[in-house]
Amino acid sequence: MNEAKASNERMISELGRAIRTEAEGHLFYSEAAKLTGDPKGREVFLHLASEELEHMHVIISLVEALENGEEWPYYPDALAEGMKKEHPIFPGIEEFKKKLEEDWTDRGALEMAIKSEGEALRAYLELLKIATTPREKVVLTRLLEMERTHQKVLRWELESIDEQGFWCGIMDYNVEKEVS
């Protein structure tokens, strides 16, 4: 097997893992939005769920391009193409929902989400290491930066429920403005 083919197969494998991570994130945020009692928290979770679904659409398009020997599409093109496809239902969804409901706390959900976003960050950093073309690097960097923003927003939400993030009684930031 030549080096280019091995690199391509590794990229497809790593992107497959990224699809699963994004699917899990979408499911988690969708369920968290239903379970949280805080309307602003619900809004944040719904926003993150939609972005995880967007990432999944993009990554599926990237995998298809690689499998077909095509050049990677740019992010907007990959998103448009990915939205035309049906996606598999996340296996184990009912068990996941049940566990989430049983163990639910707003704080616990935020901590779990922060950890999950950290794993996604590490995955995209690994993908960047094996990316070979400028286009691959641009698309992966965009996904990486979106995950960084997710983690930042989640940390802010956690600080908000812990009543941190204030200086002399004035809010240092506004989470809802960050995700808008």
Q: Could you report the per-residue pLDDT of 73-121, keeping only the tens digit for each?
A: 999 999 998 888 766 555 566 666 676 677 778 788 888 888 888 888 9
Model-wide pTM > 0.85: no
Lowest-pLDDT choice from 96-105, 135-144, 158-167: 158-167
CA distances for 20 relative to 73, 88, 110, 147, angstroms: 20, 10, 20, 15
pLDDT of residue 169: 46
Residue 32 has pLDDT above 70, yes or no: yes
Distance of CA 6 to the CA centre of its chain: 26
Residue 12 has pLDDT above 60, yes or no: yes
- Where b means 16+ CB within 10 Å and e means fewer, 100-133 reads beeeeebeebbebbbebbeebbebbeebeeebee
